Structure 1
Amino acid sequence: MAKRKPSFALQVRIIHRYLGFFLAGIMFIYALSGILMIFRNTNFLKKEIITEQQLAPNLSDRQLKPVFKKGADVIKEEAGVLYLKGGTYNKQTGLAVIKKQELPFILNKMEKLHKATTDSPVYFLNIFFGASLLFFVLSAFWMYTPKMAIFKKGMYYAVGGIILSLILIFV
């Protein structure tokens, strides 16, 4: 007796299942880092890192920007010391005290993976992961046949999810 080729729907279900198992770890990382990124403008889970750097004396605000980056805005100046968002700079001695807030090592690495761009050596992983998520979205519609009650109920949930997504985009 000849073995029947599995239907397209069954093949999609099989790929969906094993791809889901394969990507479970990276989905966990992206979910956790995505939640953490919501709090990126706060100090949630961050620790303060203080470094000292000897710079040339009498630098201008513009010259301090590369050193202090986002914290280069001058708050006040007293006795030749500039107080910035990201630390202090002594105009006479050139000593800069730089304060940064950083996530713990592993969380920082997870966040960098999540925010990877084409400059990152792992950007292909983001493309593969995004394509896999698109496959999961589409393959979910082949998990059950349209005649089944669970498929029809699922369509209501799908429409509800699409409406919620549109609301979130435009609000």
Structure 2
Amino acid sequence: MSKISKTFRVYHRYLGFFLAGIMTIYALSGTIMIFRTTDFLKQDKVTEREIGANVPAEELGGKLFIRNLEVLEEDANTITFQQGSYDKTSGVATYTVKELPFVFKKLESLHKATTNSPLYFLNIFFGISLLFFSVSAFFMYTKTNKVLRKGVYVAIAGLVFAAIIVFI
């Protein structure tokens, strides 16, 4: 085995052990993210928010960050919608939102990290590490090894499969 193969094996092995926990967290949070448009694992939370007096019904959804807010009833002092109500005179809206429990909400934030969040450094590190994993796997075997040849075919199949799923 060449020196470069041994070196890649060592880095691959220890980086793999280090990333095992991170990959577990990303796997769990990614699975939870699949269900983000459903109420799976979500709990009701009553929220009271002051948004100012006399906000028109058309602007209420934007002020409360509720998509597709549908007004059910409106009178001189109150606007009632599916999630709650808004008092026009006091400017206070009381409504129910569905939220993930604290731990799952934090896990979900991994996937939503932007450059404004310190978590994006973890995302960059994780992405570069996964890229190293995928490349270093090909340096762990000699060029004449049958495992490497079969591995290249399996990698090409995975690449084609992912491309088909993404573009369909």
TM class by shorter-chain length?
0.7 to 0.9
- Return the alpha-carbon distance in structure 1 between the equivalents of residues 114 and 51 of structure 2: 32
CA displacement, residues 119-169 of structure 1 (integer Å, 9 cap, x when unaligned): 002321111111001001111111222312222221221121011011011
The residue aligned with 1:108 is 105
The residue aligned with 1:47 is 43
Please identify runs of 4+ aligned residues in structure 1 that moved more than 6 A: none
1:74–1:137 Cα change, 3 Å: same
One of 84, 87, 90 as aligned partner of 2:87? 90
The residue aligned with 1:7 is 3
User: What TM-score, normalized to structure 1?
Assistant: 0.85
In structure 1, stretches of 5+ residues that fail to align are: 1-5
CA contact (8 A) 1:64 1:72 kept: no
| CA RMSD between the two structures | 2.1
1:113-124 alignment, distance < 5 Å: 113-124=110-121
Structure 1 position 33 matched with structure 2 position 38: no
Deviation, 1:66, is 5.3
User: What TM-score, normalized to structure 2?
Assistant: 0.86
1:97–1:7 Cα change, 3 Å: same
For residue 75 of structure 1, what is the amino acid of its counterpart? V
**Secondary structure class of the residue paired with 1:42:** coil
1:153–1:74 Cα change, 3 Å: same
The residue aligned with 2:141 is 144
The residue aligned with 1:134 is 131
CA displacement, residues 93-129 of structure 1 (integer Å, 9 cap, x when unaligned): 5442122111111111111122211000232111111
CA contact (8 A) 1:68 1:98 kept: no
Deviation, 1:10, is 1.1
Deviation, 1:54, is 4.9
The residue aligned with 1:74 is 70
The residue aligned with 1:164 is 161
If asked which structure has higher relative contact order (CA below 8 Å, sep 6+), I would say: 2
In structure 2, stretches of 5+ residues that fail to align are: none
CA displacement, residues 69-97 of structure 1 (integer Å, 9 cap, x when unaligned): 03462332244532335432133554421
Q: Alignment length, in residue pairs? A: 166
- Identity across aligned pairs (percent)? 47
CA contact (8 A) 2:57 2:79 kept: no
Deviation, 1:170, is 0.5
CA contact (8 A) 2:83 2:97 kept: yes
The residue aligned with 1:3 is none
**Secondary structure class of the residue paired with 1:70:** coil
